[in-house]
Amino acid sequence: MPLLSDTLARVKPSPTVAVTQLAAELKAAGKDVIGLGAGEPDFDTPENIKAAAIAAIHAGKTKYTAPDGIIELKQAICAKFARENGLTYQPAQITISTGGKQVLYNAFMATLNPGDEVIIPAPYWVSYPDMVLLGQGTPVFIEGSPELGYKITPEQLDAAITPKTKWFLFNSPSNPTGAGYTRDELKALTDVLMRHPHVWVMTDDMYEHLAYDGFEFCTPAQVEPGLYERTLTCNGVSKAYAMTGWRIGYAGGPKVLIDAMRKIQSQSTNNPCSISQWAAVEALNGPQDFLAPNAEMFKRRRDLVVSALDAIEGIDCPVPEGAFYVYPSIAGLLGRTSAGGTLIDTDEAFAKALLEETGVAVVFGAAFGLSPNFRISYATSDAALTEACKRITAFCAGLT
Ligand code: PLP
């Protein structure tokens, strides 16, 4: 009998691993590598949040909690949804997990049967399709067009829905493009969903607070209250509060779904870390005044990167509304050869040659399901970004 499961065989190894591994090897060999791959803020968790965690330790809040989280955090989450999103949830409609990732995973595990389809706009965050596959579901992709900043249209969504569609997975602002849907654009999508009552909506609002130029963040159940009964509104403290390592994500949704997700979690990881939960209470209930300056800093970095990349002949870089990523197209560079002799026939070849020849580590677009592009995370210092853009410019100038 083989050791490994059939399910495992359905899951692809992460395509980002090759670049990340190569970057680590080059660094270890003493090469000057600038990593633009990491999807996390480069600043530390705010002091008041750390203090709340330390106080929780001293107060002995170090035991198991309810499997899906403490009531105090559920109440803070309900208050956050009401305050920021105009959504009314009761604590019994809230689930808390080990990062936003586990929230999504639990939801798929709790709802998918073999053959159930999940519509995923591409480019997508790398984990979405594989989580669906782990849940025995079938990912169905819709490609966003570069002209629309990689957003999908209502017509595309309508055409992708079949009787087997269980979920539409929505992510705005997006990883990897940074694209954010305006209220009107989202309303056009929710209008389609209102015509298909069997489709559930999973919205991943992880980058809510990272939106620029006055972009108004909105979420499906807020824009179309008629979807409230079949929407899972997912969020977390990782990105907005610089808490990636603390592992707290959460969601609000119909009780029947939340109960099912708790059942999955209670038989796998059980409660998320008790100390992190108390830190998250402080993150959501405490002062929010650092969010705006942080967003302003990211906007400045976005502008720095977009203007440098867009000036390169052969690269087209839309200006994203949010998150901390840009997703430039290299369509205009395909077929050329790098100074080091690599034929740039795919975005993977581009990213590999860029790393080997200049030390700049980016993630190639095929990893996110839409090519030929690459993703830069600009959650790093201005100096590193300026130097990286200089090297990318020189690399592209050297293509023949
Ligand atoms: N959703 C998106 C779109 C992300 O980019 C990420 C992390 O990169 C997550 C969810 C997961 O967040 P967490 O670190 O809280 O698990």
State pLDDT tens for residues 292-301: 999 999 999 9
pLDDT at position 85 is 98
Q: Judge if the beta carbon of residue 322 lies within 6 A of ligand 1.
A: no
51 domain-assigned: no
* Res 16 pLDDT > 80: no
| Ligand 1, atom 5: closest residue by C-alpha | 175
Give the mean pLDDT of 126-136.
Answer: 94
CATH number at residue 183: 3.40.640.10
> Do residue 153 and residue 264 come from a single domain?
yes
pLDDT at position 25 is 87
- Domain C-terminal end among 256, 285, 314: 285
Q: Judge if the beta carbon of residue 236 lies within 6 A of ligand 1.
A: yes
pLDDT at position 17 is 65
pLDDT at position 4 is 92
* Res 18 pLDDT > 70: no
> Do residue 276 and residue 297 come from a single domain?
no
- Tell me which of 16, 175, 208, 234 to substitute to probe ligand 1's pocket, judged by most ligand atoms within 8 Å of the beta carbon: 175
pLDDT at position 10 is 85
* Res 20 pLDDT > 90: no
pLDDT at position 15 is 65
* Res 13 pLDDT > 80: no
Query: Using 50, 70 and 90 to split pLDDT, how confident is the model at 44?
Result: very high
pLDDT at position 42 is 87
313 domain-assigned: yes
> Do residue 88 and residue 18 come from a single domain?
no
How many angstroms separate the alpha carbon of residue 319 from the centre of ligand 1?
A: 21
How many angstroms separate the alpha carbon of residue 31 from the centre of ligand 1?
A: 30
What gap in Å lies between CA 276 and CA 39, rounded to an integer?
20
53 domain-assigned: no
* Res 19 pLDDT > 80: no
How many angstroms separate the alpha carbon of residue 123 from the centre of ligand 1?
A: 15
Give the mean pLDDT of 236-256.
Answer: 97
- Domain C-terminal end among 285, 316, 341: 285
> Do residue 302 and residue 239 come from a single domain?
no
What percentage of residues in the chain have a pLDDT greater than 90?
92
Tell me the pLDDT of the chain averaged across its residues.
95
Q: Judge if the beta carbon of residue 171 lies within 6 A of ligand 1.
A: yes
Give the mean pLDDT of 96-119.
Answer: 98
| Ligand 1 atom at shortest distance from the alpha carbon of 174 | 3
* Res 123 pLDDT > 90: yes
> Do residue 129 and residue 263 come from a single domain?
yes
> Do residue 78 and residue 132 come from a single domain?
yes
- Domain C-terminal end among 231, 262, 285: 285
Work out the widest C-alpha separation in the chain, in whole angstroms.
64
pTM attached to this predicted model = 0.96
50 domain-assigned: no
> Do residue 87 and residue 236 come from a single domain?
yes
Give the mean pLDDT of 197-209.
Answer: 98
123 domain-assigned: yes
Q: Judge if the beta carbon of residue 239 lies within 6 A of ligand 1.
A: no
| Ligand 1 atom at shortest distance from the alpha carbon of 39 | 8
pLDDT at position 9 is 86
- What's the pLDDT tens digit per position in 351-395? 999 999 999 999 999 999 999 999 999 999 999 999 999 999 999
Q: Which residues of 377-390 are buried (b: 16+ CB within 10 A; e: fewer)?
A: bbbbeeebbebbbe
* Res 244 pLDDT > 70: yes
* Res 12 pLDDT > 90: no
* Res 179 pLDDT > 70: yes
pLDDT at position 290 is 92
CA distances from 280 to 16, 42, 274, 295 (A): 30, 19, 10, 20
57 domain-assigned: no
> Do residue 269 and residue 295 come from a single domain?
no
Query: Using 50, 70 and 90 to split pLDDT, how confident is the model at 37?
Result: confident
pLDDT at position 373 is 98
* Res 219 pLDDT > 70: yes
Q: Judge if the beta carbon of residue 139 lies within 6 A of ligand 1.
A: no
> Structural domain of residue 129, as residue ranges?
63-285
Type of residue numbered 243: M
* Res 234 pLDDT > 90: yes
> Do residue 214 and residue 75 come from a single domain?
yes
**Overall number of domains in the chain:** 2
Q: Which of 53-57, 91-95, 144-148 has the lowest mean pLDDT?
A: 144-148
pLDDT at position 286 is 98
| Ligand 1, atom 1: closest residue by C-alpha | 206
> Do residue 38 and residue 114 come from a single domain?
no
> Do residue 220 and residue 314 come from a single domain?
no
pLDDT at position 99 is 98
90 domain-assigned: yes
Quick one: angle between helices 127-134 and 99-111, nearest 10? 40
> Do residue 339 and residue 255 come from a single domain?
no
327 domain-assigned: yes
CATH number at residue 338: 3.90.1150.10
